[in-house]
């Protein structure tokens, strides 16, 4: 992609309404545009990052045997009345009526709808276990939407639902999802702490939220840094190993301020290992047994002919929220550096261009074509402006690798730089090798 052709409305001014780095950067870099309070249009650069995150989430869900589907954003109120949550959910639920006067709602979550789909389709224990997921827009009418995509009203989310015959089987599904979440956040270049959590309006008796460290996070967290030293590679995909994995993570101290007690923290964590900081919740998993299946009469025939309520869990990841959270975790000294797995481009070529000298642009175009042949996603900055402005712009956009065509370039060697690192002079072959290696 040529920068001159890319729809990227960069602004120099700091938006007055943006209070945190991710909101400021996403507006300034032309990633999003506010449509109304807490509702945004996703422009090409931001949309590309979000779709990369979505694909990693999808791949990790598929890896544990979850099956993708798609449910509607607009739901009937009848199922919510049946479960007892229609009045209990509160004013965050956007309630509407169709032209026939039927009560509808813009789905804030999908426990009722997925349970209805399951109860009308699966009757026998022989069809279990099942894990279904979808990736869909949701709406919660936040009273004070703020912080850009971090706390907005319309958001893009993956939610999955497990169905099992027994509590023991259901916890195996829970452990698979726990494993999947750790792998997902690792691939996104994020260190996520799993911590025991309250179940909130979802309900249930087992819950973990996944929190990444960021000073602008909503939650104060207290943890033992040993939780980052657990090697996921030592666990295999057997039920026994996955149970051990969850026990290992859960045995290390990690709590939010709701559960924090200074005595417990001092007693259980060596002073040199203590982490006291803020964090951003990026995922939440719940096991709630028959909380929804029982009132919705979602029954399964057992092997001995009895009918029992199916055991369920739900598992959410805020995909659009993760774009902002990734920025908060990686922004440093006014420079944004995207993790390579979700960067909008693999590398940017930055030639020094002037009206009287097109040679650098010609070199850049030749490199551009060569990298494209290697399936490397390249942005070529073909805009005629001074190099100082170009560097500021690309520090804002945050593409991790830069090839600079200017005074330091030699015959067949070019200045190559990884953001937040010193540049080096390398051949094109060495540059390709470095990009592909990482």
Taking only the tens place, the pLDDT of each residue in 111-160 is 999 999 999 999 999 999 999 999 999 999 998 888 899 989 999 999 99
Question: Are residues 102 and 162 located together in one domain of the fold?
Answer: yes
In a domain, 339, yes or no: no
Question: Are residues 324 and 354 located together in one domain of the fold?
Answer: no
- How far, in Å, CA of 325 to CA of 55, rounded? 17
Question: Are residues 371 and 292 located together in one domain of the fold?
Answer: no
Question: Are residues 306 and 376 located together in one domain of the fold?
Answer: no
Question: Are residues 82 and 113 located together in one domain of the fold?
Answer: yes
- Structural domain count, the chain: 2
Question: Are residues 108 and 207 located together in one domain of the fold?
Answer: yes
Q: In angstroms, what CA-CA distances link 86 with 4, 115, 341?
A: 50, 15, 40
Residues of the chain with pLDDT under 70: 198-205, 438
In a domain, 341, yes or no: no
Question: Is the torsion defined by CA of 174, 176, 182, 184 positive or negative?
Answer: negative
In a domain, 354, yes or no: yes
Question: Are residues 395 and 276 located together in one domain of the fold?
Answer: no
Question: Are residues 107 and 162 located together in one domain of the fold?
Answer: yes
Of 386, 384, 380, 383, the C-alpha closest to 365 is 380
Q: Which two tokens mark 231?
A: 């090697």
Write out the E strands in 165-293: 192-196, 206-213, 219-224, 254-256, 274-289
pLDDT at 42: 98
Q: Which two tokens mark 145?
A: 């939407």
Question: Are residues 153 and 51 located together in one domain of the fold?
Answer: yes
Question: Are residues 325 and 352 located together in one domain of the fold?
Answer: no
Q: Which of 330, 359, 394 is the last residue of a domain?
A: 330
Cβ atoms of residues 340 and 399 within 8 Å: no
Burial of residue 343 (CB within 10 Å: 0-12, 13-18, 19+) is: buried
Q: Which two tokens mark 85?
A: 């949550």
Of 345, 366, 356, 369, the C-alpha closest to 409 is 366
pLDDT at 198: 64
pLDDT at 133: 98
Question: Are residues 96 and 152 located together in one domain of the fold?
Answer: yes
Cβ atoms of residues 415 and 403 within 8 Å: yes
In a domain, 249, yes or no: yes
* Bond preceding residue 129 cis, omega within 30 of 0: yes
In a domain, 352, yes or no: yes
Span between the terminal Cα atoms of the chain, in Å: 21
Q: Which of 330, 359, 377 is the last residue of a domain?
A: 330
pLDDT at 205: 64
In a domain, 335, yes or no: no
- How far, in Å, CA of 42 to CA of 85, rounded? 32
Question: Are residues 243 and 367 located together in one domain of the fold?
Answer: no
In a domain, 39, yes or no: yes
Q: Which of 330, 357, 388 is the last residue of a domain?
A: 330
In a domain, 386, yes or no: yes
Q: CB neighbours (10 Å) of residue 49? A: 23
| CATH for 128 | 3.30.930.10
| CATH for 371 | 3.40.50.800
User: For residue 54, what are the domain limits?
Assistant: 3-330
Q: Which two tokens mark 294?
A: 């029982």
Distance of CA 415 to the CA centre of its chain: 33
């Amino acid at each position: 992609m040529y920068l001159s052709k890319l729809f990227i409305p960069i602004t120099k001014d700091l938006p007055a309404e943006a209070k945190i780095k991710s909101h400021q950067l996403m507006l300034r870099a032309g990633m999003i545009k506010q449509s109304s309070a807490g509702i945004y249009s996703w422009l090409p650069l931001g949309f590309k990052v979000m779709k990369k995150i979505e694909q990693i989430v999808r791949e990790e869900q598929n890896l544990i045997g979850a099956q993708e589907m798609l449910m509607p954003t607009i739901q009937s109120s009848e199922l919510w009345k049946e479960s007892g949550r229609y009045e209990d959910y509160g004013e965050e639920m956007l309630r509407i009526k169709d032209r026939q006067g039927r009560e509808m709602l813009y789905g804030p979550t999908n426990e009722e709808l997925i349970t209805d789909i399951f109860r009308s389709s699966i009757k026998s224990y022989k069809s279990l276990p099942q894990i279904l997921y979808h990736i869909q827009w949701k709406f919660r009418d936040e009273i004070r939407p703020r912080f850009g995509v971090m706390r907005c009203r319309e958001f893009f989310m993956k939610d999955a639902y497990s169905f099992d015959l027994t509590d023991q089987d259901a916890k195996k599904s829970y452990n698979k999802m726990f494993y999947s979440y750790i792998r997902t956040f690792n691939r996104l270049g994020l260190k996520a702490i799993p911590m025991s959590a309250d179940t909130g309006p979802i309900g249930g008796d087992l819950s973990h939220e996944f929190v990444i460290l960021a000073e602008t996070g909503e939650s104060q967290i207290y943890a033992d840094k040993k939780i980052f030293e657990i090697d996921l590679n030592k666990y295999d995909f057997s039920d026994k190993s996955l149970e051990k994995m969850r026990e290992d993570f859960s045995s290390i101290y990690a709590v939010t301020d709701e559960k924090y007690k200074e005595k417990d923290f001092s007693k259980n964590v060596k002073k040199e290992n203590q982490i006291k900081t803020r964090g951003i919740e990026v995922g939440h998993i719940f096991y709630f047994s028959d909380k929804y299946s029982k009132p919705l009469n979602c029954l399964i025939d057992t092997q001995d002919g009895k009918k029992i309520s199916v055991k369920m869990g739900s598992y959410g990841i805020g995909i659009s929220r993760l774009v902002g959270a990734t920025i908060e975790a990686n922004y440093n000294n006014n420079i944004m550096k995207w993790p390579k797995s979700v960067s909008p481009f693999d590398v940017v070529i930055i030639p020094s261009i002037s009206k009287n000298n097109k040679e650098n642009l010609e070199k850049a175009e030749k490199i551009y074509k060569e990298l494209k042949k290697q399936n490397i996603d390249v942005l070529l900055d073909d805009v005629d402006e001074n190099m100082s402005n170009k560097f500021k712009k690309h520090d804002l956009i945050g593409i991790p690798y830069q090839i600079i065509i200017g005074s330091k370039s030699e015959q067949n060697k070019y200045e190559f730089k990884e953001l937040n690192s010193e540049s080096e002079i390398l051949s094109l072959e060495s540059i390709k090798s470095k990009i592909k290696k990482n």
